[in-house]
Structure 1
Amino acid sequence: MSRVLVRLLYVLALPAVLVAVWWLASADSTNVYWPPLRTVLETFPDVWTADRLRADVVPSVLRLTGGYVTAAVVGVALGSVIGSYRRVRAVCEPVLEFLRAVPPPVLIPVIMLFAGIGDTMKVLVIASGCVWPVLLNTVEGVRAVDPVMAETARSYGVTGVARLRKLVLPSAGPQIFAGLRQALSVGIILMVISEMFAAGNGLGFAVVQFQRGFAIPEMWTGILVLGLLGYLLSVLFQLVERRALGWYHGLRAAGRRPGERS
């Protein structure tokens, strides 16, 4: 029980300190752009009602989910192929390096030309940015598969889809999840940016509307909602990762590397 309390203290200590600093630093603020935290918190329940959560938060989460899942599927699929075959990797690497250097927000006007300004555009924008961390980490994870294990699988006739499911993806799993974690942060950023360009709802749209209407405390509540959403998604991701990579974390806890025999 004491260990749980200590862990909870570690989790809550820094946020509590930052909130306290923000509260004290803004307590006597008369700057319209920097309202007291007390005012922001008092405004929060009036702004983020159940109706507004359905109107703005739910669409944003759905767009983020669509783009993120699309990027995950495409990134893992292409990364597995590119990482498995040296010649494919040699052909694709120059193109991949060029494309990954293009900032995804720059593509928004281009995507709008053929996808319009609806949800499809926003999902594509999110996917276009999220796919690179997943793809590149998958490539590196597949390349790093233990050659002894690969040779053993080949000797036992484990090939094709079975080899992918039983050897390649589990071995590359830690690297793939590292890419998925990076992609989640990128996805939240692109979700907000895409909704600021052209949208009738969503968190990015709401924050911009508050700013344009000089509803500054309301704008700050939108920023807080984005922070809370990012935190909740991060916690959910950690739970999924822990479950999917239980074997990997068990090996790390035992002080052994993946693939190392006892």
Structure 2
Amino acid sequence: MGVPPGRVTSRAWVRALLRLVFALALPAVLVAVWWAASAGSTNVYWPPLRTVFGAFPDVWTGERLRGDVLPSVLRLAAGYIAGVAIGTVIGSRRWVRALCEPVLEFLRAVPPPVLVPVIMLFAGIGDTMKIAVIASGCVWPVLLNTVEGVRAVDPVLADTARSYGITGVARLRDVVLRSASPQIFAGLRQALSIGIILMVISEMFAAGNGLGFTIVQFQRGFAIPDMWTGILLLGLLGFLLSVLFGLAERRVLGWYHGLRASGRRSP
């Protein structure tokens, strides 16, 4: 006899609730410890957490979120797109891979923050510079995973697509990118924290908006509680991007996770 649908649904809800509890347990403990440890603080650089929370709605209004957070997210997204595009081109063409490999290995050894002054010389101080800085760091995990994913496309699948006349953009979309998408998403996940760090660093140089710029302005103006709200918002942004990324990954790679699950169930 099969399991009644209602029982399956209730079990799914229980599992989801347990995952939520496990995900929130440690953050809740850390916030409670911070709240208790800073409750009686008189240090200007270590204000009580209740003061930081109280300043949050006054600092991060809708206008400031649109003016500082949205540009930062758009720059981060642009860096991601650049990494995927470059990795796909290099990975799908052997001669391009052979031509670019020495230069890529050289640039890979250079820390991206060191390149900020150099990039400013060529790209100026606008959004192009910030996008280039983000791409210069997060491109590596994305690029290398994309190259390996494209290189590892099943030859039988590639020959079958060729025999059916699937070429050009259709081959790239339906064969190459689909086969490489698990590794591309692995690279994107690895690059997420790197991209956020470089997003902040790039906005500390000759910027007029963005999270990094705003946090530095608060620090220079000795608005320490406001500075802490920016740091907390940056952490919340990273967490939200990670959650959204996980949801997108499960949706886009549903076929891949289904294959893995069926493989684990098979004898």
- What TM-score, normalized to structure 2? 0.86
Q: How does 1:104-253 map to 2 (within 5 A)?
A: 104-154=112-162, 156=164, 158-253=166-261
The aligned length equals 255
Equivalents in 2 of 1:125, 1:32: separation in Å? Answer: 33
Identity rate, percent: 79
Do structure 1's residue 35 and structure 2's residue 60 form an aligned pair? no
1:168, CA displacement in angstroms? 2.3
Equivalents in 1 of 2:213, 2:192: separation in Å? Answer: 20
1:143, CA displacement in angstroms? 2.2
Equivalents in 1 of 2:226, 2:177: separation in Å? Answer: 45
Structure 2: gaps spanning 5 or more residues: 1-12
**From 54, 59, 62, the counterpart of 2:74:** 62
Equivalents in 1 of 2:186, 2:156: separation in Å? Answer: 24
Equivalents in 2 of 1:249, 1:203: separation in Å? Answer: 35
Do structure 1's residue 9 and structure 2's residue 21 form an aligned pair? yes
Larger mean Cα displacement after TM superposition, 53-62 or 195-204 = 53-62
| Structure 1 residues 158-214: Cα deviation after superposition (integer angstroms, max 9, x where no partner) | 555444333322221110111112222222111110111111111101111111111
Equivalents in 1 of 2:250, 2:219: separation in Å? Answer: 39
RMSD, matched Cα? 2.3
Are the counterparts in 2 of residues 56 and 203 from structure 1 also a CA contact under 8 Å?
yes
Structure 1: gaps spanning 5 or more residues: none
Say which SS state the counterpart of residue 253 (structure 1) adopts.
Answer: helix
1:13, CA displacement in angstroms? 1.1
1:256, CA displacement in angstroms? 5.0
| Structure 1 residues 110-136: Cα deviation after superposition (integer angstroms, max 9, x where no partner) | 111122211221122112222222111
The residue type paired with residue 57 of structure 2 is P
- What TM-score, normalized to structure 1? 0.88
| Structure-1 residue corresponding to 2:63 | 51
Are the counterparts in 1 of residues 84 and 184 from structure 2 also a CA contact under 8 Å?
no
Sort the Cα spacing of 1:62 and 1:166 in 2 relative to 1 into closer, same or farther, 3 A.
closer
Equivalents in 1 of 2:21, 2:84: separation in Å? Answer: 34
1:255, CA displacement in angstroms? 2.9
